[in-house]
Structure 1
Amino acid sequence: MGAARAHLLIQGRVQGVSFRYYTMQEAQSLGLTGWVRNLWDGRVEVLLDGSEDAVKQMIEWCQQGPPSAVVEDVEIAWEEPTDEFRNFRVRINAGGGPS
């Protein structure tokens, strides 16, 4: 299988439950690159780059999340892989808010 890239927006009880840390651990174990961060509106945003199989496995994991999370919805946008990242990391939270 080829390379794949997916941009996820995860909704539910996903902040304050170590979602980003567990996501980073799982993504690294699958050999994925990209990042994860909290959004101002309570969602978690994830960008995954890697093999199609690994990206799909990670999406399945994100639909459940870590033990204390309650995932209600995962929006998935498939994008062209860019190979721009060398590792997977937790990004600083996205600031802002509604205008």
Structure 2
Amino acid sequence: MDEEVNEEVRLTAWVRGRVQGVGFRWFTRANALEIGGLTGFALNLGDGRVQVVAEGSRENCHRLLEWLRSADTPGQVTGVTEIWDTPRGGYGGFAIR
């Protein structure tokens, strides 16, 4: 189990609801940095969703996903869709785009 928890993964999540104009990307970045060991970005999409891409250990990506689905986020999240993949790398940190 330990190997699976520490496995490096790529999480891509699409967050629906009132998540633009409420500091959602900034708080997502702050949370990713607090969790630690995550790189990626948060991006506002034209349809009102926020796309979050995070690469790091499976455990830390799950922690970020749990936060995205929690009541602690700014605005109002009505749903989160995610996919898991292998990391592609190339991120210097966690950016707001």
| TM-score, normalization by structure 1 | 0.85
The equivalent position to 2:11 in structure 1, one of 3, 6, 22, is 6
Structure 2 unmatched ranges of 5 or more? 1-5
Considering fraction of residues, name the structure with more helix.
2
Question: Using the alignment, how far apart are the partners of 1:53 and 1:67 within structure 2?
Answer: 19
Q: Work out whether residues 18 and 66 of structure 1, in 8 Å CA contact, stay in contact via their aligned partners in 2.
A: no
Aligned 1:19-58 pairs, distance under 5 A: 19-31=24-36, 32-58=38-64
Deviation at 1:57, TM superposition (A): 0.1
Gaps of 5+ in 1: 92-99
After the TM superposition, which segments of 4 or more aligned residues of structure 1 sit over 2 Å from their partners? 64-68
How many residues align? The count is 91
1:25-46 Cα shifts (integer Å, max 9, x gaps): 0111122100001011110001
Which amino acid in 2 is paired with 1:53? E
Q: 1:64 deviation in Å?
A: 2.3
- How big is the alpha-carbon RMSD for the aligned residues of Structure 1 and Structure 2? 1.3
Distance 1:5 1:21, change over 3 A: same
Structure 1's 65 and 46: CA in aligned 2 closer, same or farther, altered over 3 A?
Answer: farther
Query: Does the CA-based 8 Å contact 2:67-2:73 persist in structure 1?
Result: no
- Kindly state the Cα deviation for residue 67 of structure 1 after the two structures are TM-superposed: 4.8
Identical counterparts, % of pairs: 35
Partner of 2:90: 84
